[in-house]
Amino acid sequence: MTEAETPSSTPPSARTTVNRYRWLAKYDKDTIHAILDAQPLCHVAFIHDGKPIVTPTMQWREGDRIYWHGAAAGRAMKASTSAEVCLCVSILDGFVMARAAFNFNVNHRSVMVFGKAEQVTDRAEKERQLKRMVDGYVAGQWDRLRPVTEAEMNATTILSLSLDEASAKVRTGHPEDNDADYDFPAWAGTIPIRFDVGEPIPDPRNLPGVEMPAGVKDFKIG
């Protein structure tokens, strides 16, 4: 490991100050937003019965807030509401093979956000955010769907977190070996990993004449 550069901006708080491989730290909004927007899957940690739990969940963003949804009656949403959580989005961009096992690494982009999860309680704002979630995947899709019912709205909880306390770590490029190890005759390099979006598979029960929306064909992730 090598200290190639210093953090690009000031950490927003004591707990978001990166200590390990701290030269990979980024705190600027552009970097944080870009990582969140590239990967909708996040992992939310909360405490339940005094013990930590982490749940994979889909997230979306508006401005300086991040959102996720789930069952109003479920454990994860109930235990997270108004409670301290840590939300993490991480993207594995490659496997980094050095000349020494100790210097193996992965190329990655990740964000950690800390704070108290706030429930979105306003009916209109809830629906606006669910529409943003759906349309964020396929533009215009919400208005093509069977309209949402009150029972569905009531079954759904949306939580959100400010991005005030967030940090990112980003690693790119070649392996970084100790100077002396560059003479060692082991193959070194990186293996890129990315998401691949396949051909959409229409539901066999689609009604005749129903067309695939353009946004489905353009679907991107990563």
Say how far apart CA 6 and CA 27 lie, in whole Å. Answer: 11
Does residue 52 belong to the site contacting ligand FAD (CB under 6 A)?
A: no
Near its own copies in 152-211, by CB under 8 A:
152, 155-156, 174-175, 181-207, 209-211
Spatial contact of 111 and 35, defined as CB atoms under 8 Å apart: yes
Cβ-based nearer residue to ligand HEM, 107 or 115: 107
Query: Residue 24 binds which one of ligand FAD, ligand HEM, its own copies, none, with CB within 5 to 8 A depending on kind?
Result: ligand HEM
Sites for ligand HEM among residues 113-172 (CB under 6 A): 130, 133-134, 137, 148, 152, 155-156, 169
Q: Is 101 in the site for its own copies (CB under 8 A)?
A: yes
| Alpha-carbon span 168 to 37, nearest angstrom | 13
Measured between alpha carbons, how far is residue 134 from residues 13, 39, 178 in Å?
Answer: 33, 15, 47
Among 138, 162, 165, 171, binds its own copies (CB under 8 A): 138
In the structure encoding, which two tokens stand for residue 204, read together?
């066999």
**Does residue 219 belong to the site contacting its own copies (CB under 8 A)?**
yes
100 binds ligand FAD (CB under 6 A): no
For residues 69 and 156, give the distance between their C-alpha atoms in angstroms, rounded to a whole number: 7
By CB under 8 A, residue 10 contacts its own copies: no
In the list ligand HEM, its own copies, ligand FAD, none, the entry touching 175 (Cβ below 5 to 8 angstroms by class) is: its own copies
| Closest listed residue to residue 106, CA positions, set 40, 169, 190, 39 | 190
> Exposed (0-12), middle (13-18) or buried (19+): which is 59, by Cβ within 10 Å?
buried
Decide: is 41 part of the binding site for ligand HEM (CB under 6 A).
no
Q: Report the candidate in 2, 13, 19, 14 with the shortest Cα–Cα distance to residue 169.
A: 19
List contacts with ligand HEM (CB under 6 A). 20-21, 24, 58, 69-71, 74, 101-102, 104-106, 130, 133-134, 137, 148, 152, 155-156, 169
